[in-house]
Structure 1
Amino acid sequence: MLRNMLIRLFINAAALWFTDVLFSGIHFESTGALVGAAIVFGILNTFIKPILLIFTLPLNLLTLGLFTLIINAIILELTDFFVDSFYVSGFGVAILAALVISIVSVILQSILSED
């Protein structure tokens, strides 16, 4: 279980780092901020995202799941709110970054999975 949590933390940190490199609208002040943002991002994805998905289920069904991208952007903005040394410049950047984070996470998860 601890191993899975550490792998998930690594995946979150790598995906957030990649978006920092890719977009000028996302910025970390230090490596510690990256790790802190990865931890907060993981906690928000674990506890807040399922609640948001349940509340927005009709809208998510209507958009064939595309509204999940908006929810991921909201989670990213919440991470910005809770981590002082992590910055997202706007909601548009957050949407694009959420898309990149999702893609990088899926790729890394498939590489690192134990199946």
Structure 2
Amino acid sequence: MKIIVKILAVAAALWAATKLVDGIIVSADTPAKEIGTLLAVALVFGVVNAVLKPIIKTLGCAFYILTLGLFALVVNAGLLLLTSWIAGQLDLAFHVAGFWAALWGAIVIGVISWLLDLVLGD
């Protein structure tokens, strides 16, 4: 149940990012397809984060320390770009147009996911 709630929270954060950040696009025909695409992308984003983020944190811990954690924004933007690429390979109608869109999108997704985690709890 916790995983489903987390996927829904990330899907909501992705939806907000598509509305707030130019360059993050869900090009679905109907609202139902848009919701399905956002849920699928949230699942992909969760898998990418679960698999790669611990590896990147371990290998790049010096950058995290040197930049006082700001390197995490770059990592999250890269993971969002990777998610966009994987979504393209899976024929999902989700696209991130570049690094700056990914950076702002990662900030929006992070803040909204954090707020939803506060509201929903563990």
TM class, shorter-chain normalised? over 0.9
Partner amino acid, structure 2, of 1:54: T
How far residue 24 of structure 1 moved from its aligned partner, in angstroms, is: 2.2
**Map of 1:15 onto structure 2:** 13
From 1, 19, 38, give the equivalent of 2:42.
38
- The question of 1:91 aligning with 2:89 is answered no
Cα deviation, 1:51-72, whole Å, max 9, x if unaligned, reads 1111110011000111001110
Give the 3-state SS of the residue equivalent to 2:72 in structure 1: helix
Task: Quote the RMSD (CA, aligned, Å).
Answer: 0.9
How far 1:36 moved relative to its partner? Answer: 1.2
2:31 maps to what in 1?
none
Q: Contact between 1:33 and 1:83, CA under 8 Å: does it hold in 2? A: no
Could you say what secondary structure the match of 1:83 adopts? Answer: helix
TM-score, normalised via structure 1 length: 0.93
Could you state the TM-score of these two structures normalised by the residue count of structure 2?
A: 0.88
Alignment of 1:51-90 (within 5 A): 51-84=55-88, 85-90=93-98
Are 1:15 and 1:105, in contact at CA under 8 Å, matched by a contact in 2?
yes
Measure how far apart 1:33 and its partner are.
1.7
Opposite residue 105 of structure 1, the aligned amino acid is: S
SS of structure 2 residue aligned to 1:102: helix
Matched residue SS, 2:25: strand
- Residue 47 of structure 1: CA displacement? 1.0
Kept after mapping to 2: 8 A contact 1:69/1:99: yes
User: Counterparts of 1:82 and 1:75 in 2: how far apart (Å)?
Assistant: 10
Deviation at 1:40, TM superposition (A): 0.2
Once the two structures are superposed, residues 62-83 of structure 1 have per-residue CA deviations (whole angstroms, 9 ceiling, x without a partner) of 0011100111001100100100
Task: Using the aligned pairs only, state the percent identity.
Answer: 37
Q: 1:11 deviation in Å?
A: 0.9
